[in-house]
Amino acid sequence: MEACLAVEKEHTKVNQKLQSASQTISNKMEETINSLQSLRSSLANEEKPVLTDEEVQSVKSLISQVTSDVQSVSQTHKDMHASISKYGRIIDKYFMQDSKSVSSSITAQQNKASLSRAIYEHLLREGRMDVAETLLKEAGLSHEESFMTLFKDIHYIVQALRNRDVDPALRWVEGHRDELLRHGSSLEFKLKQRKYLLLLSLGQINEALSYAKELGDFSPLHNKEIQRLMGCLLFIRRGLESSPYSDLLDPWHWSDIIDTFTRDACYLLGLSLESPLAVSLAIGSAALPQLLHLQSVMIQRQMADVLSGRDELPCEIQLPWRYRYHSIFTCPILRQQTSESNPPVRLNCGHAISRDAMKKLVGHSGRLKCPYCPLEMMAKDVHILKF
């Protein structure tokens, strides 16, 4: 926090300096241009081929004035650069710690391509199609028109929902109805409910009544909600806002419907709900301070190598629940987290250990004994565990 405040203070200072410098430069330039223009027009009015001594004097004095103005502008410009580079040094001082030793660097070409693709996907999710397209070209990524179209469609529908237009979303639902039903989605009901309420609020009672038939398809699952929607008809004249059904008009329903649509669309398209890049950055930022602290302690104790050359973290990092995606299995024998190269295995008795631990237990005959119960088994019968 202290670092943020120091940088913010410097930022305000630099910003003020830049603004005043920019004002000074633009005033000086304007003054110079005006003086030059007025001299030119006064000389142009003269019909004499030779300048008088007085005119020569005024040209000379203007030249020296312009020279001094240019020098002053150049000095102001230099001062601006000095402030900006000082600002950079302040950021370096507070934030630019060497994190290379606690993170694996992105060197291989394949990793760079994966990173570019993650940034590309993030930009598509943010709706920055133009920037994403430029990145695609500059990073030499393979172009998949269908991938971009997916995001364009999602953005178009979300934008329409923000403008309280449910029709594009309803058309999308029609094309994916079976998959949505299998997934147990209530998106279609929510959209049709909004459409019905929109018709009511526009005073189109007959249209709303005939549209209500569409809601009948969702009986009996949504019976209670359908009853409430029909109840709205009794309060049309008095106004729904002051009726017992006013909660149905809450703007919250629109954000809920956007959320439901985004979740369902991502699920059907096999995309994660949140941007993988944003999640990685959030998790990395949460883990980095702890790792840097550990690194400084290890360096003091001359044990810095504990942080490098491993594919597991040297300490436990507590992440918020929303970022916990996978179960972690720690081998009870080796007391190490399992990894791709050393996955967990399920012994025939049901006990689980890591594969490296199992290899240590296997005898010449290919048999092993569970370290927790006396059951003996053949190593080839043991299965890799996936969870």
Instruction: List the one residue from 349, 352, 361, 362 that touches Zn ion (CB under 5 A).
Output: 349
- Of 7 and 333, the one with the shorter C-beta distance to Zn ion is 333
Q: How far apart are the first and last CA of the chain?
A: 39
Instruction: List the one residue from 28, 346, 351, 369 that touches Zn ion (CB under 5 A).
Output: 351
Separation between Cα atoms, residue 70 and residue 57, nearest integer Å: 20
- Of 117 and 346, the one with the shorter C-beta distance to Zn ion is 346
- Of 208 and 345, the one with the shorter C-beta distance to Zn ion is 345
Taking the complex as a whole, how short is the minimal distance between the CB of residue 347 and Zn ion, in angstroms?
A: 5
Considering only residues 71 to 130 of the shown chain, the ones binding Zn ion according to CB under 5 A are none
Taking the complex as a whole, how short is the minimal distance between the CB of residue 127 and Zn ion, in angstroms?
A: 54
Taking the complex as a whole, how short is the minimal distance between the CB of residue 351 and Zn ion, in angstroms?
A: 4
Taking the complex as a whole, how short is the minimal distance between the CB of residue 374 and Zn ion, in angstroms?
A: 8
Q: Is residue 1 exposed (0-12), middle (13-18) or buried (19+ Cβ within 10 Å)?
A: exposed
Taking the complex as a whole, how short is the minimal distance between the CB of residue 361 and Zn ion, in angstroms?
A: 11
Considering only the stretches 159-167, 269-277, 288-296, 347-355, report the one whose residues sit in contact with Zn ion under the rule CB under 5 A: 347-355
Considering only residues 355 to 384 of the shown chain, the ones binding Zn ion according to CB under 5 A are 370, 372-373
Q: Residue 250's CB: how many other CB atoms inside 10 A? A: 10
Helices (H) and strands (E) in the chain, counts: 13, 5
Considering only the stretches 160-168, 169-177, 345-353, 378-386, report the one whose residues sit in contact with Zn ion under the rule CB under 5 A: 345-353
- Of 74 and 330, the one with the shorter C-beta distance to Zn ion is 330
Tokens (6 digits) for 57: 């004097």
Contact between 88 and 11 (Cβ < 8 Å): no
Taking the complex as a whole, how short is the minimal distance between the CB of residue 336 and Zn ion, in angstroms?
A: 19
Residues in contact with 58: Cβ distance below 8 Å, sequence separation at least 6, in sequence order: 39
Strands 352-354 and 344-346, bridge-based pairing: antiparallel
Taking the complex as a whole, how short is the minimal distance between the CB of residue 386 and Zn ion, in angstroms?
A: 19
Taking the complex as a whole, how short is the minimal distance between the CB of residue 357 and Zn ion, in angstroms?
A: 13
Size of the site for Zn ion (CB under 5 A): 5
- Of 56 and 375, the one with the shorter C-beta distance to Zn ion is 375
Considering only the stretches 248-256, 302-310, 341-349, 352-360, report the one whose residues sit in contact with Zn ion under the rule CB under 5 A: 341-349
Q: ∠ CA 41-43-45 to the nearest 5 degrees?
A: 70
- Of 212 and 370, the one with the shorter C-beta distance to Zn ion is 370
- Of 182 and 383, the one with the shorter C-beta distance to Zn ion is 383
Considering only residues 123 to 152 of the shown chain, the ones binding Zn ion according to CB under 5 A are none
- Of 309 and 374, the one with the shorter C-beta distance to Zn ion is 374
Nearest-10 Cα torsion for 219, 224, 226, 231: 150
- Of 90 and 370, the one with the shorter C-beta distance to Zn ion is 370
Beta strands in the chain (DSSP E): 344-346, 352-354, 367-369, 376-378, 383-384
Q: Give the per-residue contact string, 191-210, with Zn ion (x = CB under 5 A; - = no).
A: --------------------
Concatenated DSSP letters for 337-363? Answer: B--SSS-EEE-TTS-EEEHHHHHHH--
Tokens (6 digits) for 187: 């998106």
Taking the complex as a whole, how short is the minimal distance between the CB of residue 365 and Zn ion, in angstroms?
A: 18
Report which residue type is found at 205.
Answer: I
> What are the CA-CA distances from residue 14 to residues 73, 83, 95, 176, 353 (Å)?
17, 6, 18, 54, 58
The b-or-e profile of 136-162 (16+ CB within 10 A means b, else e) is beeeeeeeeeebbebbeebeebbeebe
Considering only residues 262 to 281 of the shown chain, the ones binding Zn ion according to CB under 5 A are none
Considering only the stretches 38-46, 92-100, 164-172, 342-350, report the one whose residues sit in contact with Zn ion under the rule CB under 5 A: 342-350
Nearest-10 Cα torsion for 375, 379, 380, 382: 60
Interface positions with Zn ion (CB under 5 A): 349, 351, 370, 372-373
